[in-house]
Structure 1
Amino acid sequence: MNWSHVALNCASVPVTEEFYTRWFGFERANAFVLGNVQIVFIRLGEAYLELFGPADGSPRPPGGPALPSADGPQQRGTARHIAFQTDDVDAVLARMGDAARVTLGPLDFAEYIEGWRSVWLTDPDGVVVEVSQGYKDGAGT
């Protein structure tokens, strides 16, 4: 198992991407639209941020309760989930057994990147954790 990324909810993906690229040296690693949500991966060395835009393309208002989502809270300014990369999502789920409290998936994203699959589960405190296999940079940049 390897560290993968932290996913951030953004009022504006371009504004957040520019902030991290300009001031911290991140570079775009991937970008695509999943359903109606813009997603951009940026990286600095081996560290990734996954930037999520609002589902309808408009900025989210600040404050208020987090919107429910199986892959983590969607409130602007919050971490959506933490993520780890593995060679085999199914093997991880089998090894975890009942400890894998799955909230979403496993889902196949081969339409975007061949071999990419992810599952989301919660840790004992309710933090959403993504376990993914097959992600590669550059497919949608």
Structure 2
Amino acid sequence: MSAPVDGSVRWSHVGLNCLDQKATEAFYTRWFGFGRARVVEADGSRVVFLRSGPVYLELFPTDSAPAFDTVKDGPDNPGAARHLAFQVDDVDAFLAAADGELEITLGPLSFDEFIPGWRTVWVRDPDGVVIEVSQGYTDQSAQELRTYA
């Protein structure tokens, strides 16, 4: 039994565990335009909320080792997020601006056979989370989607 979606449900945020919160915050601030939106301190622990437009990341401190290795476009473990994704106008310009400072795990690759102009590269954040950076993605039309019903 499922409840109808009535418009009152909205995306909220992604929570990330961080070995070094300052390094993770600096990464998302520098490369993806996030800024600090809120800091919550409780029981000797600090949680940092970052915001970029309507998108929020919640950074939690941890000293645990990663549960699995993240390679290429992300882990394929059930229950694990495969990757986070951001759109840019030009993947090559984004990489040129990074000047080799980002760890590329896969790509850049072109997916013109699916969507003309769709190009993607995957990079890793300081905690091993894979980030997809792409250009040119577009949704299918309603008519095209009906063929998959």
Give the structure-1-normalised TM-score: 0.52
Q: 1:69 deviation in Å?
A: 3.8
Aligned identity (percent) is: 51
Structure 2: 5+ residue stretches without partners:
10-53, 56-66
Q: 2:84 aligns with which of 82, 85, 89?
A: 82
Partner Cα separation in structure 2 for residue 87 and residue 99 of structure 1: 19
What secondary structure, in the 3-state scheme, does the structure 1 residue paired with 2:107 have?
strand
5 Å matches for 1:37-48?
Answer: none
5 Å matches for 1:38-77?
Answer: 66=68, 69-77=71-79
Structure having greater relative contact order (Cα 8 Å, sep ≥ 6): 1
Partner of 2:134: 132
1:2-23 per-residue CA deviation (whole Å, 9 max, x = no partner) reads: xxxxxxxxxxxxxxxxx8x965
CA spacing shift, 1:134–1:115, aligned 2, 3 Å: same
2:70–2:128 contact (8 Å) kept in structure 1: no
Structure 1: 5+ residue stretches without partners:
1-18, 27-45, 48-64
Q: Match of 1:111, as an amino acid?
A: E
Partner of 1:38: none
5 Å matches for 1:6-45?
Answer: none
**Backbone CA RMSD of aligned residues:** 2.9
CA spacing shift, 1:23–1:100, aligned 2, 3 Å: same
Give the structure-2-normalised TM-score: 0.49
What secondary structure, in the 3-state scheme, does the structure 2 residue paired with 1:107 have?
strand
Q: 1:106 aligns with which of 105, 108, 129?
A: 108
Partner of 2:117: 115
Larger % of strand: which? 1
Q: 1:70 deviation in Å?
A: 0.5
